[in-house]
Structure 1
Amino acid sequence: MVRLLERLAPNEGYTQSALDSVRLMRSDRPLGRTPVLYEPSIVIVCQGRKLGFLGNEVYVYDAQHYLVLSVPLPFSTETQASPEEPMLAVSIRLDLIELSELMTQIGAAGHHPEAPPTGIVSTRLEGDLAGATIRLLEALTVPLDAQVLGPGIVREICYRVLTGEQGGAMRAALAHHGRFGRVARALKRIHTEFATPLNVARLAEEAGMSVPAFHANFRTVTQTSPIQYIKSTRLHQARLMMIRDGVTAAAAAGRVGYESASQFSREFKRLFGRTPVEEVRDMRESFTLSPAVRFGT
């Protein structure tokens, strides 16, 4: 895995692969607690170590453990890496339509126990999943293999996750049933419409809950309040715009729905601990998105 990822991800930060849903991650240096926003995804670390912090919980993902998120979550991470042993990982964005088909097939077989839903889990990396990951990385180095074989291997990886140690909790979360599902749908709307005015009372009404019940269930899933989650989502999106698109802080503020640039700067510094200019300067390598490496056929 390490040998393949060093070829596929030669630059720090994120590198797009030949598949739209797959990105490679690399860090050549340690990073302290850093606020991040992960979309629903599977993150498999092949070298180095990452720690995820959400509320009072700590999630380890390293060469022995992978991370899965069933909903988009802002949390903070710590990265353990060095120039000699960079942190190398593969991130697979979850396709909820394809997952629903897989879950239907798994449910029909009836051999896998259910569990309470959860938004994030760290799970031991088993042999079948590790083998599929190696085959995916190998396919990504050959353009035609990536196109023809890649989607099937991604599907297999998703299947291994959904039937793995904590697959029941993931299946329950991704099925979007019950109160967890209603909060998950609200999260999806927030991420789709973060630049528009979002009213918590309206979100609660759409979720079929009273405002107090919505707050309580929202905090159970995300470890934060709806208002803080909306604010965090906007600020994370603005940071990516400044780093990857080169827009100014004022332009990013307007794009994510802030009417006041000064309010944006205050809230940005409160979340990230630095001004927008300082954060972009120091985190550009960690969050840049490089194009896919081109290999010969």
Structure 2
Amino acid sequence: MTNSVLPVNAELSRLILQLQPRPGVTDTSVPGVTLMRVDEDTARIPVFYEPGIFVIAQGRKMGYLGEHNWQYDAANYLVMSVPLPFECETRVHGKEPFLGIKVPVDAGLLRELLLQIETLPDAGPSDVGATIPMASVAQDDTLNDAVLRLTRCLQNPLESHVLGPQLVREIVFRALLGGQGTALRAVVGRQGNFSRMARALRRIHTEYASELDIETLAQEANMSVSAFHHNFKEMTFTSPLQYLKRIRLHKAWMLMLQDGVSVSVAANRVGYESPSQFSREFKRCFGRSPVAEIGALQPG
């Protein structure tokens, strides 16, 4: 598909450009909300997304996980219900940059919203049907309106502080009622393999630098080790150990790029005892050594 036919959300693009004058990913004054800008097409590369709702103003991204692939653009937003490594490529809109905004999905907020939703009969979709951790969903006017109001409020520190969290809440609520709402509900459910795997993913995501025992994770999920491996791979298309490795490598990538730490320090902080093993696995994942990768991405 050519860039000439990519959909554009002109008002959202204008607002993001005011806040994001240069390429990159920028945290905003609303916790967890980030802005994205890419000025040129990027090839398929490994990435790691935390749970969130990704709304695109212009341009397109294509995500690849196992044999599945998704595209998200101004007509389709992406919902990521669990922290997940995958591969992604970016397409800009002609000579205009790719622009987007990410709204975080927090398990505590999901539980709170579901408690309110479930007090009313037939208030939303039931927890039936297949659940997948990542999907693109057709954009609708209600979610788009909430995202526009959130982006406008980011222009004003007082409005961001007072209104920002409530608008995040509204956007997550809209997504709960959307096409990927079942997976978001399953994340905080108490039953089912999806919720068990989601809890395991969250623990690995937060304790990646420590010694994680797969047998203990399986026991906590009330599964045998073989069943745990099977269900884990069914959700993430990778093994628990490969998932842990990808998290460590991406966390180290961020430490080196954003905090400027050395290769050995980054390796140690994410749980590697051997810097040489870290460098080998980093190159296998990203295609370049840590020094070459960070050197290529840093300005100047």
Class of the TM-score when normalised by the shorter of the 2 chains: over 0.9
For 2:94 and 2:69, the matched residues in 1 are separated by 25
| 1:66-114 deviation per Cα after TM superposition (whole angstroms, max 9, x unaligned) | 1111110000110002683111100111121111111122223232222
The 8 Å contact of residues 30 and 82 in structure 1, kept in 2 or not, is answered as: no
Change over 3 Å in CA distance of 1:183–1:284 after alignment to 2:
farther
Distance 2:254 2:190 in 1: 28
Q: In structure 2, what is the equivalent of residue 8 of structure 1?
A: 19
1:295 aligns to what? none
Once the two structures are superposed, the pairs formed by residues 248-287 of structure 1 within 5 Å of their partners are 248-284=262-298
The equivalent of 1:216 in structure 2 is: 230
- Contact 2:57/2:100, CA 8 A, preserved across alignment: yes
Partner of 2:29: 18
**Which of 49, 52, 58 lines up with 1:41 in the alignment?**
52
In 2: Cα distance, 1:209 partner to 1:123 partner: 32
Deviation per CA, 1:18-42: give whole Å up to 9, x if none.
Answer: 1112110110111101111111111
Equivalent position amino acid for 1:59 in 2: W
- TM-score (structure 1 length as normaliser): 0.92
Q: Higher relative contact order at CA 8 Å, sep ≥6: structure 1 or structure 2?
A: 1
Q: 2:70 aligns with which of 56, 59, 66?
A: 59
Q: Does the residue aligned with 2:118 lie in a helix, a strand or coil?
A: helix
Q: CA RMSD in A?
A: 1.4
C-alpha distance in structure 2 between counterparts of 1:5 and 1:197, whole Å: 41
- The corresponding residue for 1:234 is 248
Determine the structure 2 residue equivalent to 1:201: 215
Is contact 1:117–1:171 with CA below 8 Å preserved after alignment? no
1:213 CA drift (Å): 0.1
Where structure 2 has 5 or more consecutive residues not aligned to the other structure, the ranges are: 1-11
**Aligned residue number for residue 6 of structure 2:** none
Conserved 8 A contact 1:176-1:184: no
Aligned-pair CA distance for 1:177? 2.9
Task: Confirm whether residue 89 of structure 1 aligns to residue 100 of structure 2.
Answer: yes
Equivalent pairs: percent with the same residue? 48
Q: Match of 2:85?
A: 74
Residue 179 of structure 1 deviates from its aligned partner by 1.4
Q: Give the C-alpha shift of residue 257 in structure 1.
A: 0.8
Letter in 2 for 1:252: A
Note if contact 2:146-2:170 (Cα within 8 Å) is conserved in structure 1. yes
The aligned residue for residue 133 of structure 1 is 147
Q: Give the alignment partner of residue 181 of structure 1, picking from 195, 206, 223.
A: 195
Q: Give the conservation status (yes or no) of the 8 Å contact 1:118–1:170.
A: no
Contact 1:48 1:63 in 2 (8 A): yes
Give the SS at the match of 2:294. helix
1:150 aligns with 2:164: yes
| 1:153 positional shift | 1.2
Q: What are the residue-to-residue correspondences of 1:90-105 with 2, within 5 Å?
A: 90-105=101-116
Number of corresponding residues: 285
CA distance in 2: counterparts of 1:78 and 1:210, whole angstroms: 37
State whether residues 75 and 138 of structure 2, in contact with CA within 8 Å, keep that contact through their aligned partners in structure 1.
yes
Q: d(CA) in 2 for partners of 1:222 and 1:279?
A: 26
TM-score scaled by length of structure 2: 0.91
Contact 1:241 / 1:252 at 8 angstroms: preserved in 2?
yes
Is this contact kept in 2: 1:241–1:247, CA < 8 A? yes
Runs of 4+ in 1 over 6 A off after TM superposition: none
Q: Residues of 2 paired with 1:48 and 1:109: CA distance?
A: 39
